[in-house]
């Protein structure tokens, strides 16, 4: 059964409430007064209980009865005990009927649920209390399949929603490792939402709610998470998150103590040699393997190994969660211990870019632009950093922000400003050509929106398609093909009809366009961490020193040969 008949919710002061749905003929429409009734029993006496649009009675000091009328949706019950106030969500008859209909494939019911809840994120938290965990994931799948804007919204907020469920009492229970994994993997399985990493969710929640390594261990224990098992499942990335948390909250000594609890499979000399010989993609893993055995070395040697481990892990991870930013923060702490400018500069720079890309994915364009500006300012502080990457991506995001507001002329202006800014920077020729081609493609796509002439519209779209294809931007090519296939008098509303046949993964990163074309979508920066925007090992103008180069600070003097 998707909708629970009985469930528990936490109360202030360590108490809890048991919610029981009272099943009977009163739930039937033919009763003439269809209602949903609930009894809420607590391990503490109630001081006050109120339900918007429902009748509340108190059959006992530690119990309340709630009756919700036929038109009641998801209803908030506010409860006050001697230790504080909390709220519970109860599904009224209308909400229960829409949930069942949405799960049966009714898109109208799914959209109504989302609208009445105030958005898909709010729906996830409210419905998560009274549905089974698989039922919640099935419902989110249904509402995102029914609405592109809901799909975009949940894609943008998926990590925030899941982290909130782990770090607060809101939403479904996450008391065991199985609960946590099932929730994250259930959302990850939703086609329209995008990838979800269990380790990234847990790491971000841990960083959000704890400020000591001991607090982190207690948080993991409260959720039944065994750190080493999660690190093994995440190819060691969670180990890096633990090290970064220790370093940023209590400094290098705490990170060293964390490392000593981890098994070392090699001597430091062997682990260091393997790390120095590792290729770009394996470098983070190799340096993580060196950290436990480096804990037996001097503080300087340990800081050097830790800085490498955290930096290179974050460098190749690049997802939509905050874990990369946290790892770069830890790398800065380790780098400062040995005054290593290269790691400090690169980590601060990449952290700002990672923050910008996260805000870009969340469609908080202004914050993304501010973070790209921070990255540019950081690049100006060190000769070994290039400012043109954040200048380029900032221009793309500024253009998208203007289009999202319906101002396509300003969007073209943002592209022109970006081109002018890049013309004053020492960008390698091949890289400059790629960026200019991307600007030109977006300019053509926006010009296609602005023109009223069908022939000109088609000409702009065909030019944009050719340039996107030249860059290898497959999702953008696919979007342009949809627009070309649409009749000229239908405008650019590509979210109706044929969009359903596209891969949902390509849809997930698009902006919520509210049913009208607002220009090039977020997918125009493909995953933001591939091709033009990622520091790749073969990228022109992107130094790839392997390990932190000695000519830019070098290893500590006492690093073993």
Domains of the chain: 1-89 (2.60.40), 91-195 (no CATH), 359-487 (no CATH)
Q: Strand 16-22 to strand 6-10: parallel, antiparallel, or no bridges (unpaired)? A: antiparallel
Q: Sign of torsion, CA 119 122 125 126?
A: negative
Distance, CA of 375 to CA of 528 (rounded, Å) = 15
Please report, to the nearest 10 degrees, the dihedral formed by the alpha carbons of residues 315, 317, 319, 323 taken in order. Answer: -80
Distance, CA of 10 to CA of 80 (rounded, Å) = 12
229 exposed, middle or buried (CB, 10 Å; 0-12, 13-18, 19+)?
exposed
For every one of its 561 residues, what pLDDT tens digit does the chain have, with 9 covering 90 and above? Answer: 578 899 999 999 999 999 999 988 777 776 656 789 999 999 988 888 999 888 999 998 889 999 999 999 999 999 998 999 999 999 999 999 999 999 999 999 999 999 999 999 999 999 999 999 999 999 999 999 999 889 989 999 999 999 999 999 999 999 999 999 999 999 999 988 889 999 999 999 999 999 999 999 999 999 999 999 999 988 889 999 999 999 999 999 999 999 999 998 899 999 999 999 999 999 999 999 999 999 999 999 999 999 999 999 999 887 889 999 999 999 999 999 999 999 999 999 999 999 999 998 888 999 999 999 999 999 999 999 999 999 999 999 999 999 989 999 999 999 999 999 999 999 999 999 999 999 999 999 999 999 999 999 999 999 999 999 999 998 889 889 989 998 454 444 333 333 333 333 333 333 322 233 333 333 333 332 222 233 333 322 222 223 333 323 334 444 433
Distance, CA of 175 to CA of 222 (rounded, Å) = 6
The first and second tokens of residue 64, run together, are 């309340």
| CA distances in angstroms from 417 to 395, 399, 407, 412, 541, listed in the order given | 7, 10, 15, 9, 22
Distance, CA of 447 to CA of 445 (rounded, Å) = 5
CB 401 within 8 A of CB 369: yes
Distance, CA of 120 to CA of 115 (rounded, Å) = 8
Burial track 443-458 (b if 16+ CB lie within 10 A, e otherwise): bbbbbbbeeeeeeebe
**Residue 491 phi, psi dihedral angles, 5° rounding:** 70, -155
CB 190 within 8 A of CB 182: no
The SS3 of residue 556 is coil
Helices (H), 278-428: 283-294, 299-317, 323-337, 341-361, 365-379, 388-404, 408-423
Distance, CA of 443 to CA of 415 (rounded, Å) = 7
CB 310 within 8 A of CB 244: yes
Distance, CA of 246 to CA of 330 (rounded, Å) = 8
pLDDT, residue 545, reads 28
pLDDT, residue 347, reads 97
* Residue 290 CA from chain centroid, whole number: 29
Distance, CA of 67 to CA of 333 (rounded, Å) = 56
CB 366 within 8 A of CB 339: no
Distance, CA of 390 to CA of 372 (rounded, Å) = 5
Distance, CA of 387 to CA of 379 (rounded, Å) = 5
Closest among 177, 186, 303 to 238, alpha carbons compared: 177
CB 216 within 8 A of CB 178: no
The first and second tokens of residue 496, run together, are 């109706």
Token pair 């209308």 is found at: 94
**Residue 352 phi, psi dihedral angles, 5° rounding:** -65, -40
pLDDT, residue 260, reads 95
Q: What is the per-residue DSSP string for 439-471?
A: HHHHHHHHHHHH---HHHHHHHHHHHHHHHHHH
| CA distances in angstroms from 337 to 298, 303, 393, listed in the order given | 12, 7, 32
Burial track 413-429 (b if 16+ CB lie within 10 A, e otherwise): ebbeebbebbeeeebee
pLDDT, residue 32, reads 59
| CA distances in angstroms from 394 to 8, 150, 249, 413, 425, listed in the order given | 47, 26, 31, 13, 15
The predicted model scores a pTM of 0.83
The first and second tokens of residue 494, run together, are 């590509």
| Tally of CA atoms within 13 A in the half-sphere of 348 that contains its CB | 23
Q: Per residue, what are the HEC states of 220-239?
A: HHHCCCCHHHHHHHCCCHHH
* Cβ-proximal residues to 551 (8 Å cutoff; 6+ apart), any chain: none
Distance, CA of 512 to CA of 380 (rounded, Å) = 35
The SS3 of residue 178 is helix
The first and second tokens of residue 304, run together, are 């050097």
Distance, CA of 280 to CA of 540 (rounded, Å) = 15
């Amino acid at each position: 059964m998707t909708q629970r008949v009985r469930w528990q919710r936490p109360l202030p002061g360590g108490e809890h409430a048991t919610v029981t749905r009272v099943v009977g003929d009163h739930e039937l429409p033919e009763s003439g007064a269809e209602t949903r009734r609930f009894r809420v029993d607590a391990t503490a006496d109630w001081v006050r209980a109120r339900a918007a649009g429902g009748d509340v009675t108190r059959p006992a000091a530690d119990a309340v009865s709630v009756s919700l009328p036929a038109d009641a949706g998801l209803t908030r019950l506010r409860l006050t005990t001697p230790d504080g106030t909390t709220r519970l969500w109860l599904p009224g008859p209308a909400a229960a009927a829409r949930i069942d209909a949405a799960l049966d494939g009714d898109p109208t019911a799914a959209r109504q649920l989302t609208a009445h809840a105030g958005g898909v994120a709010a729906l996830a938290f409210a419905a998560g209390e009274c549905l089974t965990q698989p039922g919640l994931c099935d419902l989110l799948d249904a509402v995102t399949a029914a609405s592109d804007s809901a799909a975009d919204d949940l894609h943008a907020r998926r990590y925030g929603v899941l982290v909130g469920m782990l770090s607060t009492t809101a939403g479904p229970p996450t008391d065991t490792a199985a609960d946590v994994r099932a929730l994250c993997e259930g959302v990850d399985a939703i086609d329209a939402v995008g990838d979800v990493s269990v380790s990234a969710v847990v790491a971000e929640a841990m960083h959000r709610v704890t400020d000591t390594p001991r607090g982190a261990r207690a948080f993991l224990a409260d959720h039944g998470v065994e750190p080493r098992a999660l690190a093994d499942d995440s190819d060691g990335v969670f180990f890096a998150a633990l090290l970064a948390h220790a370093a940023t909250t209590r400094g290098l000594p705490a990170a060293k103590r964390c490392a000593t609890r981890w098994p070392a499979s090699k001597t430091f000399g062997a682990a260091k040699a393997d790390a120095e010989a590792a290729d770009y993609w394996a470098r983070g893993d190799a340096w993580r393997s060196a950290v436990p055995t480096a804990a037996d070395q001097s503080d300087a040697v340990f800081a050097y190994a830790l800085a490498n481990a955290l930096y290179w892990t974050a460098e190749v991870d690049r997802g939509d969660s905050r874990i990369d930013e946290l790892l770069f923060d830890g790398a800065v702490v380790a780098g400062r211990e040995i005054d290593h400018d290269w790691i400090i500069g690169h980590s601060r720079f990449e952290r700002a870019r990672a923050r910008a890309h996260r805000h870009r994915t969340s469609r908080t364009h202004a914050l993304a632009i501010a973070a790209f500006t921070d990255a540019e300012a950081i690049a100006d502080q060190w000769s070994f950093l290039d400012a043109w990457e954040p200048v380029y991506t900032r221009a793309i995001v500024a253009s998208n922000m203007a289009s999202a507001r319906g101002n396509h002329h300003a969007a073209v202006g943002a592209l022109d400003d970006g081109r002018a800014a890049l013309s004053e920077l020492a960008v390698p020729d091949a890289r400059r050509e790629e960026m200019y081609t991307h600007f030109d493609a977006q300019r053509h796509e926006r010009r296609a929106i602005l023109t009223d002439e069908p022939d000109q519209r088609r000409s702009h779209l065909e030019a944009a398609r050719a340039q996107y294809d030249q860059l290898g931007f497959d999702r953008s090519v696919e979007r342009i093909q949809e627009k070309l296939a649409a009749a000229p008098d239908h405008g650019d509303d590509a979210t109706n009809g044929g969009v359903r046949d596209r891969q949902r993964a390509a849809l997930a990163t698009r902006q919520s366009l509210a049913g009208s074309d607002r220009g090039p979508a977020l997918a125009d920066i493909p995953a933001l961490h591939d091709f033009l925007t990622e520091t790749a090992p073969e990228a022109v103008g992107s130094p790839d020193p392997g390990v932190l180069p000695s000519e830019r600070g070098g290893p500590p003097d006492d690093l073993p040969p």
